[in-house]
A and B are shown apart, each in its own frame.
Chain A
């Protein structure tokens, strides 16, 4: 980067003190109303450009009396005005984050020599030193933002929003975003689901990874109506057509007006005892359950559930002696043989009935739903799994964990093959989970596959995108593993702290987080973004789709979309 012609070359202040640990202190030379908390600023000093965030504004005076006495009343206006900035001043606290070596003044001999030594474009690095006293501080312009966050290219550099004070575009690098597990947080109504949809749309459009979306509330696939405004909200299926596969849990699940592309039925034989134990609370299992489960697995192997559910209870027959004994196909009978207390077995049997009644968990599924899903994902398609009527917490926990586990195992094998040069590189996969605190709280964290995935950090090309409104409930070890965090407004102090877990500069960012405006603003932070920055979110509306897909590609219906993509309208594989 050589020179940048600035749109607004006037400094807003100059450095007067502070440091790396405690933030830089900047004396403001413009009225404080021109700068906001969270503003992105640049500071040039000694051949380096520093990039930082305004985290606080403080009023000060050289003598408290200047502040106390209203000079506007005592002195003529122009004299009173002159006091501002001198005896009365405002300091900014600026958190320096990045610095970029720019070299000497362009056009000079020194610059030529320096350029010889640094032929490539220099890249921003984490800040390691400070600008000198009196270095001018300027509001970042669009070029600065593009320098740090990338220039939108309608591919992996995705415009996620705008700077709050000046409206410059801010981009998210989707490659980096999916390189580690990430999270989108915010209270209900903070706009996080719109953010999620936009990012997913960008991801799908950029086609750098496949997405598996567990759509618990049927929000992502079909068009729907915004609960707040009543306006129509475009869905992903409508926009991306055949790229998206709508999967329904259980046969004949539909998505409102849309039909499912495939139904997902899960074989009972796929359920392991761990899957069941995961649901201890939901199923209200007692402490004997684990023993019984392990005995069942021992005795029946993979088919234990089917076998167990097929057993009768309370059935008796008479034996040779005329004594009433448990019928052979009864739970009691098995318990006696399996060295398990009958009561425990009965208790378990009773509890597992729910599973038996489930619409999607069947002994012998007709379809190869799960395999189909895996295939689709491998081939670059994206899957949205709707839960249909089976959307209880139990269903959610069971299905998400099971499927993810299977997929993760598959991906794990593919990766090993790849490393052994026996196969090609696996397609990166992002698993999108909502209500993550149900799956990733402290109690569950060790049991679900999700925390494993979070910790693995894409060793096997699988990452998570968790979407949640109670981040404080999420196991903080998992939270601290999240790469990128995008947070809308959060009301709770614990939630705010949770989002910041594992990140440096927490106290400065806490203030920013707590003051985000609901539905409009979000804070980008974490490993996946070059530096923390508050943004005004991009709007998820028809303009968004137009910009993403191009002017003509904003089909209003599936039919139109399919036509555009060359598919028949009734292709619901």
Chain B
């Protein structure tokens, strides 16, 4: 896993087979973006792939107190930005796993039990994951009911499209759009939400 952007996790807050939530340090907030593909190591040879579904900055009593102060010297704001483990929760949606080099778009056999790091996948890995199979992992995203499906999808597709343009298949994006239309053909609201969001990518 060398050469990849590594986010250190403060702690694993909750995890099940479908998603997990990890706390991380603020400074790294620039790194994970909505819809980015990341992975965590479950055990030897087995890693879980996930999409960043939500980034929540929880309330922090100290920050609230700080914010109410009249004028805060730079050192203190910098302390909070760089040093403090602001309770940021990164919500990660499981979209597949890799075992001994093979990629599957099914849910992983086990959720992570503890985490020390989350790795952001680079373009090559993004292409590798999204090229495997036939867009099977879309169903995990479409299954969400408490998060904005189309936003996550669009963010992910924007990344994947760019990556494929440079390293992968030129027709991947069209295939992805077609697959989405097939999956959502009976859901007018859902499909139009997704397509309207994707329209922005043009």
Contacts and interface: CB of A to CB of B under 8 A. Distances in A.
Interface residues of A, number: 14
Contacts of A74: 196, 199
Given A86-B178, A87-B191, A79 B185 contact: no
B15 interface: no
Contacts of B174: 78, 82
A8 interface: no
Contacts of B196: 74-75
A317 interface: no
A227 interface: no
A76 B201 CA distance: 9
Interface string B141-182: 000000000000000000000000000000000100110011
Interface in A44-102: 62-63, 65-66, 71, 74-76, 78-79, 82-83, 86-87
Nearest to B178: A82
Interface centre among B178, B182, B186, B188 (most CB of A within 10 A): B188
B195 interface: yes
Nearest to A62: B185
B198 interface: yes
Contact of A75 (B178, B186, B199): B199
A86 B182 contact: yes
What DSSP secondary structure best describes chain B's contact surface?
Answer: helix
A62 B191 CA distance: 12
B98 to A, nearest CB: 30
A65 B178 CA distance: 19
Contacts of B195: 71, 75, 79, 83
Contacts of A75: 195-196, 199
A79 B202 CA distance: 10
A79 B191 contact: no
A250 B198 CA distance: 86
What DSSP secondary structure best describes chain A's contact surface?
Answer: helix
Given A78-B174, A82-B174, A87 B199 contact: no
B144 to A, nearest CB: 21
A87 B194 CA distance: 14
Contacts of B186: 62-63
A545 B156 CA distance: 68
Contacts of B185: 62, 86-87
Contacts of A65: 188
Nearest to A71: B195
A82 to B, nearest CB: 5
Given A79-B177, A79-B199, A82-B174, A66 B182 contact: no
Contacts of A79: 177, 195, 198-199, 202
A82 B181 CA distance: 8
Contacts of B178: 82, 86
A335 B191 CA distance: 95
Contacts of A62: 185-186, 188
A87 B177 CA distance: 13
Contacts of A87: 181, 185, 188, 191
A522 B177 CA distance: 44
Contacts of B198: 79
B199 to A, nearest CB: 5
Considering the complex of A and B, which 10 residue pairs feature the smallest CB-CB distances, nearest first? A76-B202, A63-B188, A86-B181, A62-B185, A65-B188, A87-B185, A75-B199, A86-B185, A62-B186, A76-B199
10 contacts: A63-B186, A65-B188, A74-B199, A75-B195, A75-B196, A79-B198, A79-B199, A82-B181, A83-B181, A87-B191
Interface of B: 174, 177-178, 181-182, 185-186, 188, 191, 195-196, 198-199, 202
